[in-house]
Structure 1
Amino acid sequence: MRTEHTSRLTVDNNQFVICDADADEDLVLPASEANSLVAHDVGVAMFVSVISGGYDGQVNVTTVAYGDEPPLMRNWEDVVEVSVRCATGLIVGELMEGGLIPLVEGGGDYRLRVSARGRDLAAARDLEDDDEVDIDRVVEDFLIEAWPSPPAPMRVLRADSRLSRPDERVELTANERMLEGAAMAACVAIGRDIDREVGARTLSGATSRVDVEASLVGKRSRYFKLFAHLHGWWGASSPGGELAVGGQFWLRRRDDRPEHAIMGSRSAASIECTWLEIRRPSHVAMTWSWLCPADGVARPTWGDLVPVFSQPTRLTFDLVEGGSGDNARTTAVRVTHEGVPREWEQDLVVYWAYKLADAERVYALNYRD
């Protein structure tokens, strides 16, 4: 028995989703190992995220349901399997709305095999100037296969793309490793305060402003895209997902990302951002609001999140292009984070210094000027 469907989906914040056919039903999932293709909360989750290389735009998706395990297909760069239990069946769809593709009918235990190709090309294309990109050309393909199967651990069957091997991206210098370690420690300290754990600092209510600057090698227009969407995070955005004043996006916590400790350790913790000012490619400002589950909620979802502070903080990136020609182009970037707890000032100085250095590494990996 084989049922196949093919369609195009619009990805949002580097993802589309697999969920129960009944939107009110959650999925039950085992623990996951770190990988770049499939992500989900452990235990009970609203959906499984399939991670694309492109931040937005369209991808080709084929779903196939089998009666038994199919052979592993060739010509795919990344392949991950995960088990899932659903109540009514499974569908594949867009993160916020529309674009539903059937996968399997009927509740039960299933094995999912997610295969992808073209993610590296899509990720590199995100850093191109807008007028250099053929936005109508779809470069990413995904195959979602499913069959009845008892629960089993997640497996990474193939990891041939550059995105699937983050540890191999760039060899860090001793100073870069030191900065990364300090930034991760700062994230843990902030998260401990949010969780109100033993050792947490008492926040006085006084606020401060953080300013960090760096000169980065590369074109301003490409760095603008990285910072406008806060590279290195993943999440959801308001319908459409386009960069526009008033648009929102949410940075979601993942256990396998050390820097996400900055949100605290509670399930469903998030950071909500709203774009306030946009002047391409020199300036973008947004709110940054820490969210955590309300006290007493046993199985929190996004709807159970409440702000940690009464007012959101404000995050601004200003970019000035310099250099003496295309071969020596640099971009001066200034990060300003206002309204943050005074006790977190030094932690955030270290964190944003790390994010600036990390942006230069991401740029070097994805684009050759």
Structure 2
Amino acid sequence: MRRPVEGEVHVHYGQIYVESDPDSSGPDLAASFAGQSAGLCGAAMPGTLWLTTGLHTGSVRFTVEVHDQAPPLLDPVWEEGVEVSFRPVSAGSMLVQWAGEASWELDLEETDYRVRYCAKGMDEAHQQAARLDDERQLDRYLLQFWPAPPAPDRVLRQTSANAAYWHDYARRQPPPPTPAERAEAELLSRRAQEQAEQERRLAYERWDWGGQLPGQTLRDVGGNVRGLLSFDPALVHAIDASGPAAQRAVALLAARHACEAAGLAQLDWIATALTALAQGRPLSPLFDDSARVWQALESDPRVPDRTVGRPVPPEWPPADAGAHTPTPQPGQTPQIVGPAAAATELPSPPGQPTPLARATRTLKVTTGPPDPSLRMSQPHLAIPALLGAAEADPPKPTRSRRPSTRCTPPWPPAARTTGHFCKRSGPYVRGVRKHPTCRRPSCRRPRQEG
């Protein structure tokens, strides 16, 4: 026999507990005594014991004994005695004070135990209610464990009015739920929680999309749809519902308006592209590679030097406090527009060294809300609108683009004889060195010299 607890413990509200479920928030009074005929020690909740004391608040003498076999019959010194069956649900059983103020490890195995709870002086302690540290002890308790198969709870002895009250309380409680009923209740509770979480997510998403849930088509658009959403969500949903023909017309209108506002519409190669879009014809080969478009924009001396400030969207009411706020995700790589993207390398995967490169331009990246004082090149903002309007149906919102370094078919006739063709450096054959920028796996072949 061993005694893991022997001495004074503090009680509040005439209660102390044995707990073994690390995920439990503590026992419930009615549930602990449900279906029992014996009060004082409630064992109806799995892995938990509710122990009642006569003293309301203060320190009581408390002893816990763990036996290898059943101890002798109830000693006459004890005025009250009950027995219940108990099985820990984990290896961490503890005697726990009210609100978890203190605890004592009991080192019980995960097996069936018989528990005897004995008390003395309950009525006198109940009448005094509270005890100061320097006052005489009025009640004391003994809690015994020994291995035994489950058996009905029973009252061994009852002499006090306080114990009689708690025995009567226990007998008035309805029986506990069966394991099947408990599993069904847990399932219904889990479903209710999942439903509530789903409703919170939908409420947040509805707010995030301007008061209306998007259809699957709009969800799949991607790109810079959020940029327009923050200014006019009703327009975004109207465009989504308009159909491909109207969306195509909106894309063409936006491209033309952007080019006119940037002063690009009078340039011959831009005007030709706008005309081709309006007539439904493909653009010139120049626009097959966005890198060549940016180079043309940089090299054309007729491109006006116009800048525009960052637009600041209106303030919208905050999301409902009950709505689900997504967990912030790790920072994403900013998308760079214009010629500066040609000098910007994507970050290396974690754990790999970042290669050194010669910097030909200075790139300044800022975070946070738009700063109206920052100016941006209006011609460089118009080009993505033109390229976006040329995409296949359904047209997608304009997105920030990196200059393409991908090899795309159809390839020139030279590729049929020399191997592969990359638009940035020409035909590939097996030879001397590799192309440093092409990201197509099949394009990582040596480049022909000369």
Shared fold per TM-score greater than 0.5? no
Q: Which has the larger radius of gyration?
A: 2
Q: Given the two structures, how large is their TM-score scaled by the length of structure 1?
A: 0.41
From the two aligned structures, give the one with the greater helix fraction.
2
Under a length normalisation based on structure 2, what TM-score does the superposition of the two structures give? 0.34
* Higher RCO structure (Cα 8 Å, ≥6 apart): 1
